[in-house]
């Protein structure tokens, strides 16, 4: 069974209504990986497991991001580390990266159930060294 991580953008879907719709739509066909912050709300759902944020990406086959382009840009930082495809479901106004809408859930399921093509995006991999020799690494995606 494919494992789908569902990530919700900050300050998006505060009442969890959209997340509940997505989990209900996908949990019969996929193992759903949610952040541990949602455990109290979703622990009685079938096929739902809870992980810390980075583990969601590590153990998933794909990532669904509920939010807008900012949410996708944030999710891309971890998705690129684990080489996971991401698909954004737009909960904002205009979605250049988040092209799917909540009304597209059946179509999204159809795409995920087959071999699907991905659109490769260029990302920046930045390494900096401070004056003490400490190295920091960052990943960035531009919309």
String of DSSP letters for 86-103? EEEEE-SS--SS--B-GG
Cα angle value 39/97/60 (rounded, 5°): 40
Catalytic residue among 13, 29, 69, 143: 69
Q: State the DSSP H helix or E strand holding residue 39, giving kind and residue range, or none if neither.
A: helix 39-42
The secondary structure of residue 30, as a DSSP letter, is S
Confidence (pLDDT) at 143: 56
Confidence (pLDDT) at 10: 80
> Are 80 and 123 in contact, with CB atoms under 8 Å apart?
yes
**End-to-end alpha carbon distance in the chain:** 32
> Are 60 and 4 in contact, with CB atoms under 8 Å apart?
yes
- The model's pTM: 0.83
C-alpha separations of 131 from 34, 36, 81, 138, 139 in Å: 39, 37, 27, 18, 21
**Annotated catalytic residue 69:** yes
> Are 78 and 54 in contact, with CB atoms under 8 Å apart?
yes
Confidence (pLDDT) at 142: 66
**Mean pLDDT for back-to-back runs of 10 residues, the chain (143 residues):** 90 90 94 96 95 96 92 90 92 79 90 72 81 86 65
Q: CA quadruple 98, 62, 79, 32: dihedral positive or negative?
A: positive
């Amino acid at each position: 069974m494919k494992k789908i991580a569902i990530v919700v953008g900050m300050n998006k879907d505060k009442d969890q209504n959209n997340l509940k719709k997505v989990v209900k739509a996908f949990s019969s066909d996929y193992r759903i990986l949610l952040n541990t912050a949602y455990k109290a709300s979703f622990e009685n759902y079938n096929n739902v497991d809870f992980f810390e944020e980075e583990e969601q990406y590590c153990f998933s086959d794909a990532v669904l991001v509920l939010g807008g382009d900012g949410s996708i840009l944030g999710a891309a930082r971890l998705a690129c580390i684990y080489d996971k495809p991401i698909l954004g479901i737009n909960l904002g106004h205009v979605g250049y990266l988040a092209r799917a809408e909540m009304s597209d859930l059946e179509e999204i399921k159809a795409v995920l159930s087959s071999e699907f093509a991905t659109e490769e995006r260029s990302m920046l991999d930045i390494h900096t060294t401070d004056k003490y020799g400490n190295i920091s690494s960052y990943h960035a995606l531009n919309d």
